[in-house]
């Protein structure tokens, strides 16, 4: 019995040291990449444009982080009392919502009903979240109640639609883009976009 315990302990130590030595050879997936900063003031400028010009979804950054791209976006949706029946699905991009203000009900599900591929020249496909589908509904969908402070993850391939918004909902989105289908956008491009949009206010 003691011999078996000794062998197991020895194997465990070999396994642990083997893993540690393998980790020593790991290199950063984003070599010499610099960090990027988005201020609360910049986020608020996007939110203002969304409210006043009724632009639902605006990209703030799209950055190459090595093996993947990551995007930051701001979304604002006004009151919704009746469901529109417009489910969105993104084939390759996962979205993480952080609700800034307001609340709403979002329906999700992986099985799309009467789906239609978004055209390649669609604004969302070209600049926000890559190829995907619109659909009339999702089969066996699940409803989620979102409020300020909540975090919500929508994996790539999952249909989603806001079905009710009592007043408004504003949220920050982090998009995970491992296939790098969304064009890059840096801070200078963001400033140029904001200047252009504020000229329309």
If 0-12 CB within 10 Å is exposed, 13-18 middle and 19+ buried, where does residue 189 land? middle
Q: Each residue of 20-58: b (16+ CB within 10 Å) or e?
A: eeeeeeeeeeeeeeeeeeeeeebbebbbbbbeeeeeebb
- Residue 192 clears pLDDT 80, i.e. is over it: yes
pLDDT tier for residue 27 given thresholds of 50, 70 and 90: confident
Q: Are 97 and 63 in contact (CB under 8 A)?
A: no
- Residue 9 clears pLDDT 60, i.e. is over it: no
40-198: what fold? Jelly Rolls (2.60.120)
Q: Give the pTM.
A: 0.86
- Residue 18 clears pLDDT 80, i.e. is over it: no
- Residue 19 clears pLDDT 80, i.e. is over it: no
Residues 107-166: pLDDT tens digits?
A: 999 999 999 999 999 999 999 999 999 999 999 999 999 999 999 999 999 999 999 999
Q: Domain ranges in the chain?
A: 40-198
């Amino acid at each position: 019995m003691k011999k078996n315990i000794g062998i197991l302990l020895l194997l465990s130590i070999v396994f642990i040291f083997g893993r540690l030595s393998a980790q020593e050879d790991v290199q950063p997936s984003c070599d010499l990449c610099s960090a990027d900063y988005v201020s609360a003031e910049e986020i608020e400028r996007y939110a203002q444009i969304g409210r006043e010009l009724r632009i639902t979804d605006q990209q703030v950054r799209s950055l190459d982080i090595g093996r993947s791209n990551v995007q930051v976006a701001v979304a604002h949706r006004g009151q919704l009392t009746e469901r529109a029946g417009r489910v969105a699905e993104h084939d390759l991009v996962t979205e993480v919502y952080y609700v800034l203000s307001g609340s709403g009900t979002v329906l999700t599900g992986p099985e799309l009903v009467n789906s239609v591929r978004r055209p390649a020249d669609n604004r969302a496909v070209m600049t926000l979240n890559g190829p995907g589908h619109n659909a009339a509904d999702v089969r066996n969908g699940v409803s989620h109640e979102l409020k300020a402070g909540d975090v919500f993850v929508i994996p790539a391939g999952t249909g989603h639609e806001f079905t009710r918004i009592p007043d408004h909902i504003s949220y920050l989105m982090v998009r995970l883009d491992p296939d790098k289908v969304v064009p890059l956008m840096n801070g200078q491009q963001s400033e140029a976009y904001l200047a252009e949009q504020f000229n329309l206010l």
